[in-house]
Amino acid sequence: MTILGTQDLSADADGIAKAADLLRQGLLVAFPTETVYGLGGDARNGEAVAAIYEAKGRPSFNPLIAHVASTETAKRFVEWTDQAEQLAQAFWPGPLTMVLPLQDDHGISSLVTAGLDTLAVRVPAHPTARALLASFDGPVAAPSANPSGQISPTTPAHVRTGLEGRIAAILDDGPCGVGLESTIVGLAGAPALLRPGGVALERIEEVLQTELHHHQPGDLLTAPGQLQSHYAPDAPVRLNAQATQGAEVLLGFGDVTCDLNLSDSSDLAEAAANLFAALHKLNATGRPIAVSPIPDHGLGAAINDRLRRAAAPRD
């Protein structure tokens, strides 16, 4: 698939209107969310969704998240529950995705759900994303706007590097704030953490007043971001490193001597926001990457999840 001249669109009223029109035409538009840049296509249009998989080189058994403008819009496509309402009240709009059973008349392409009877849905908080979704007035399937398995994009430049000529446009509103993809919670049965992300597990359990089950390696893929090898730089990644070995560059955290630091002050939110941009920079060196230990609580759990997948053997 080749598209002559991937357009740059400004995040103003005119650019947002043009982006929404491209989506209506069945074309693909990268747009900012508070987490990472998403690669958007009309979730009801099977050809548009197929084009997302083609542009990314993404396995078709890996489901996509449908982004919608509001909770009321989400209810048009999924069966709503009391727990979904609790989480929506607490975290929407924001970096939380819920996986819920599909309504009978949902109209969502089966390519979005990878043939499952559930849908991953979220209401993003980024004002440009919300304006685009409101203008489009429909569900937008939007995985991260990068080739499948590679480092997620947090700037328009990251998107262009990976997808130039494969998509119609990039809606440019600068770097993303959270920098980690959304947390995914399954609510089709007992509440389950399907992917850690921008909302910490502890906050979700506090709202639901229950512990969440955890997705295990080898379980059926029920949500995006569950492949063992994902978010991967070209070079090997070694975790929990106290010092470099050989030609490695060190991605640091806290008070360490390193080539690039996620957060000098050991702030996990800052580290999360910087993670993918830092991996992009170190990946450009062509050298193996060593990573300092990251505390495994709060947002640290999501950071470590991404790093483990980056370091996993390639599928």
Mean pLDDT of 159-163: 95
Say what the pLDDT of residue 160 is.
96
Mean pLDDT of 244-266: 96
Under 8 Å CB-to-CB from 206, ≥6 apart: which residues? Answer: none
Residue 118 near residue 65 (C-beta atoms within 8 A): no
| 301, pLDDT greater than 50 | yes
Say what the pLDDT of residue 230 is.
52
| 249, pLDDT greater than 70 | yes
Cβ atoms < 10 Å from Cβ of 184: 26
In angstroms, the CA 140 to CA 37 distance is 13
Q: Which contacts of 189-192 are long-range, i.e. CB under 8 A and separated by 24 or more positions?
A: 191/83
Strands (E), the chain: 7-10, 29-32, 37-42, 65-67, 96-101, 118-122, 140-141, 169-172, 183-186, 192-195, 213-214, 237-238, 249-252, 260-261, 289-291
Under 8 Å CB-to-CB from 287, ≥6 apart: which residues? Answer: 235, 247, 248, 249
Say what the pLDDT of residue 270 is.
85
Q: Mean pLDDT for the chain?
A: 89
Sort 32 into a burial class: Cβ within 10 Å, 0-12 / 13-18 / 19+: buried
In angstroms, the CA 277 to CA 258 distance is 16
| 79, pLDDT greater than 80 | yes
Query: In b/e form, how buried is each residue of 187-203, taking b as 16+ CB within 10 angstroms?
Result: bbeebbbbbbbbbbbee
Q: Crossing angle, helix 156-163 and helix 268-283, to 10 degrees?
A: 40
Say what the pLDDT of residue 219 is.
55
Cβ atoms < 10 Å from Cβ of 115: 10
Edge-to-edge strand list for the sheet holding 118-122: 7-10, 169-172, 29-32, 37-42, 140-141, 65-67, 118-122, 96-101, 183-186, 192-195, 213-214
pLDDT band for 107, please (50, 70, 90 cuts): very high
Strands 29-32 and 169-172: parallel
Say what the pLDDT of residue 212 is.
94
Under 8 Å CB-to-CB from 113, ≥6 apart: which residues? Answer: 63, 64, 102, 119
Say what the pLDDT of residue 1 is.
45
Say what the pLDDT of residue 17 is.
98
Mean pLDDT of 246-269: 95
pLDDT band for 304, please (50, 70, 90 cuts): confident
In angstroms, the CA 1 to CA 77 distance is 30
Mean pLDDT of 121-130: 97
Q: Which residue has the higher pLDDT, 18 or 275?
A: 18
Mean pLDDT of 22-26: 97
Residue entry with tokens 């029109």: 21
Mean pLDDT of 133-147: 95
Cβ atoms < 10 Å from Cβ of 211: 12
Residue 212 near residue 183 (C-beta atoms within 8 A): no
In angstroms, the CA 80 to CA 6 distance is 38
List the beta bridge partners of residue 96. 183
Mean pLDDT of 36-44: 96
Mean pLDDT of 109-137: 92
Under 8 Å CB-to-CB from 149, ≥6 apart: which residues? Answer: 227, 229, 230, 231, 232, 314, 315
pLDDT band for 275, please (50, 70, 90 cuts): confident
